A and B are shown apart, each in its own frame.
Chain A
Amino acid sequence: MPKFTLRINKKTHRINIDADTPLLWVLRDELGYTGTKYGCGRGFCGACTVHVDGEATRSCMTAVDNVNGAEITTIEGLSIDNSHPIQKSWISEEVSQCGYCQPGQIMTAAALLDRNADPDDEDIDSAMKMNLCRCGTYDRIRKAIHIAAKEQK
């Protein structure tokens, strides 16, 4: 089996695995980063979103051989102490209900703020629209992103 070197949350992991294995399952099953969630396996729901070289990326649709050597950040690596502005506003606004889709929502939102420090509702909608939430936390997500943007300034 091929060998891969993965940089995850600033740590280096070497693994042997089939080249077509989606990053999602490498993270969850092989390395124990279970914060990244399986929702649909087809890139429709966004629960599996991580950052690959700073870009919000669907880990369920990203084969491990496409991210060999790339800098990967998962929800566990966003901060060590819940101090990322998005995490802080997610806590203060009590965004989460069941919480299952939230790692993906948070990673997408954090990537949005990285490239757009002051998103308006439309920017938020277009960045977040492919992240599904069945509990219906959308209103709070929007609010929390605005708050995080303000705090980041």
Chain B
Amino acid sequence: MSQDFSRRDFLKVSSTVGVGLVISVALPYKERLVATGIVENSFEPNVWIKISSDNKVVITLAKSEMGQHIRTSIPMIVAEELNADWSQVNVVQADTHPDKYGSQSTGGSGSIRRSYMRLRKAGATARDLLIQAASLKWEVPASECKAYMSEVIHSKSKRSLKFGELISLAGKLDTPIDPILKDEKDFTLIGKSLPGLDTVYKVNGSAKFGIDIRLPNMLYATVLKCQTFGGSLKSFNAKKANKINGVKYIFEVDGGIAVVAANTWSAIKGQRALDVEWDHGDFYSWDSKKIKNMMETKSQDKGVIAKEVGNTKNLKNNISIESNYEVPFTSHATMETMNCVAHVNKDSAELWVPTQSPQRIQSSIAEKLNFDIEKVKVNVTLMGGGFGRRLWSDFIPDAVEISKKIKKPVKLLWTREDDMKHDFYRPASLHKLKGSLSDKNELISWEHHIVSPSISGQRSPERFKNGQLDRSAVNGANNLPYDVPNILVDYVMSNTKVPVGWWRSVYNSQNAFANEVFIDELAYKAGVDALEFRMIMLNNSPRHKAVLRLAAEKAGWGKPLAKGQGMGLAVHESFGSWSAQVATVTVSKAGELSVDKIVASIDCGTVINPDGVKAQMEGSIVYGLTSTLKGEITIEKGAVAQSNFHDFELLQIDEMPKVEIHIVPSIESPSGAGEPGLPPVAPAVANAIFNANGKRVRKLPIKSKDLKV
């Protein structure tokens, strides 16, 4: 288990009780969110917990909330071990600090799986100290005391003390090295579908996202950059833009043009009024077709071997089939576009950013401004979706540069067009698969040849200059779960200037599509039921089997279907979790497709908040369906052709299938929930289409014209 334990978690922040200020967000409803600051008369057994004399428990969240309800599930873990009264629990967003909280990045479906044990231990430490304090006060053995609902109770003498009454003594005691964790069967919070701590703020407009930050004297900015990747600014004329009411400054910033104005609308109008000449550079001659041709050519290259078992080249008595699969670039398209509020002073800077990666921002901006790191304060706001996009901080230096130049706070906002043209796209990929069946219809050989741009290779090409493997790019391909005696998985890097990045489930989305459709093709060739074909090859993977069985059973796999309907399934492991999905679709003769139903199962170990896991599964399915049916990014003249939601379409409510989520009960360590639900969607739908009308889908997004019988 790779829990990142750290000594600092178990060192007390302060051994004496401090007095300070409570600074809370002014919110009209019952306050569950504390903005920042020290809690009055607080006891801080570690960086995660503050308990005040009025019995309030404040839990620090060092991860970013982007819709995955981490502001609720992490406090649940701490409060569980603390035995706190949940109605008294508040959550505070951590300040950004290089090492106080460990990694503050939010990604890889890792917030819970990477911190579960340390958070439990933090809660248990505090509980232990409070119990010790009560036992000293009452002069009874600690073993006779227990914590319950924010009190310590001594049942023999029917005495109890509130946590708040114990904090001054607890603060003077030595921290236990190895506090005893609760038995899972005694959990009262973990495993319960508790309402989100921030739910109410999201229905009345009071939830504050990055875009909502307003500071006194703040100005508003847009930045126009060359849309052709690798292009640069030749010259610009700001005469028209300068005439627009409210426009205050126009200047060059990092090869782009900043328009700074009294309000957003003036900044947008100013941007539209600029006359610019770009030097488009050599990528101008590239388009999607050229990229595809390049990838085809590259596919003739021998790849870097990612996995080799047995020998796929020396087979006898077999039937082979070969198929190619294609997945396009796609965009994150978070509903809140990229933005940053920056206030740079002479020797300090403060930023408000909806970000998944605050520490990287802090260190890079400190370096840029030549400030000590503690002089750069990075406030993590709520964010309107993340999905991996906000791990990048490409837009932050511009905001900092502008504020530094105008000597005022500034809100830099990207328009939807800026956002769509300057994403880090899910890498397009080409997959060549070859499989061989024995004369007994057993799968005896599997080859998966992957061609795609490398996210890591684009970021740090020097790491791959001697042909090293990008391990991330083969995620979901090199861990094929099926028992096949001969396997070869290899990878060819096909980088272009199109920026690529981590998109929900990363390379699992492309690799699972190829894997799970091809397995379906092989099952069909073998004349074996698609579920059975998988099951007999999963004897070493019981958790794959269990999710498959559950989804198939709940979906009624094999039941008679209406005319034009088909059912398909897929299973995939990613981020330590397993998900299987059964899609039911209807395809008309003309090729019109409707996805009627998705039944999904998930095994993500111990579940903290079941409704939260369900929501993440529902979200992953919709996100995955969007990229299955629409949401293609294409390249024209070296730039992204799409610009807004009219040409980059998202799934809409009337296209929404019925979705059913089933969670496998488990006491295993918790694993990821934000992404594992995505990879099975596309192959399940593709396989269902084949089942419906015999049309084999090997290319995403699925287009109606290709489904016509």
Contacts and interface: CB of A to CB of B under 8 A. Distances in A.
Is chain B a partner of chain A in the same complex? yes
Interface of A: 1, 18, 21-22, 25, 28-30, 32-42, 44-45, 47, 74-76, 78-82, 87, 90-91, 94, 96-103, 106, 124-126, 128-142
B220 A29 contact: yes
B199 A140 contact: no
A37 B386 CA distance: 16
B245 A132 contact: no
Contacts of A96: 67, 196, 199, 202-203
Given A39-B645, A40-B416, A136-B620, 9 more contacts: A29-B265, A35-B205, A42-B644, A74-B205, A78-B204, A81-B29, A90-B203, A96-B67, A96-B203
Interface stretch (B235-243, B250-258, B647-655): B647-655
Given A75-B205, A103-B205, A135-B385, A45 B656 contact: no
Contacts of B385: 98, 100, 134-135
B67 A97 contact: yes
Nearest to A88: B203
Contact of A124 (B195, B619, B653): B653
Contacts of A80: 28
B234 interface: no
A22 B337 CA distance: 18
A37 B66 CA distance: 16
Contacts of A74: 205
Given A34-B214, A99-B382, A91 B335 contact: no
B653 A82 contact: no
Listed residue (A90, A99, A103) with the most chain B CB atoms within 10 angstroms of its CB = A99
A36 B335 contact: no
**Interface residue range, chain B:** 35 or more
Judged by DSSP, the binding face of B is loop
Interface string B607-630: 000010001001111110000000
B196 A134 contact: no
A94 B212 contact: no
Contacts of B478: none
A79 to B, nearest CB: 8
B205 A45 contact: no
Nearest to A126: B654
Interface string B403-425: 00000000001011000000000
Interface of B: 28-29, 66-69, 195-196, 198-209, 211-212, 214, 220, 245-246, 263-266, 268, 333-337, 382-387, 413, 415-416, 611, 615, 618-623, 644-646, 650-654, 656, 658-659
A47 B652 CA distance: 14
Contact of A134 (B28, B333, B382): B333
Contacts of A78: 204
Given A44-B645, A101-B384, A106-B203, A94 B615 contact: yes
A81 B623 CA distance: 33
B212 A139 contact: no
A80 B202 CA distance: 14
A60 to B, nearest CB: 10
A139 B659 contact: yes
13 contacts: A74-B205, A82-B200, A94-B615, A97-B619, A98-B66, A100-B335, A102-B202, A129-B652, A136-B651, A138-B622, A138-B653, A139-B618, A139-B656
Contact of A37 (B69, B203, B336, B654): B336
A35 B622 CA distance: 25
Nearest to B624: A136
B456 to A, nearest CB: 26
Contacts of B336: 37, 39, 98, 100
B245 to A, nearest CB: 5
B208 A75 contact: no
Judged by DSSP, the binding face of A is loop
B654 A135 contact: no
Contacts of B387: 134
B264 A136 contact: no
Given A100-B209, A139-B659, A37 B200 contact: no
A50 to B, nearest CB: 10
For the complex of A and B, the 3 pairs showing the least CB-CB separation, nearest first, are A35-B205, A136-B622, A100-B384
B339 to A, nearest CB: 9
Contacts of A135: 67, 335, 385, 619, 622-623
Nearest to A144: B203
B220 A94 contact: no
B633 to A, nearest CB: 15
A42 B245 CA distance: 21
Nearest to B615: A97
B467 to A, nearest CB: 38
Contacts of A87: 203-204
Contacts of B656: 138-139, 142
A74 B196 CA distance: 23
A136 B618 contact: yes
A25 B265 contact: yes
A102 B415 CA distance: 20
A40 B644 contact: yes
B205 A137 contact: no
Given A78-B204, A100-B385, A45 B623 contact: no
Contacts of B67: 96-99, 135
A38 B658 CA distance: 29
Contacts of A130: 652
A25 B245 contact: no
Contacts of A1: 245
A41 B268 contact: yes
A131 B69 CA distance: 22
Given A96-B203, A132-B650, A38 B645 contact: no
B416 A39 contact: yes
Contacts of A47: 335
A149 to B, nearest CB: 16
A96 B415 CA distance: 24
A103 B382 CA distance: 15
Contacts of A32: 214
A59 to B, nearest CB: 12
B74 to A, nearest CB: 16
A36 B205 contact: yes
Contacts of B246: 18
Given A35-B206, A102-B202, A134 B650 contact: yes
A33 B205 contact: yes
Contacts of A140: 615, 618
A74 B214 CA distance: 18
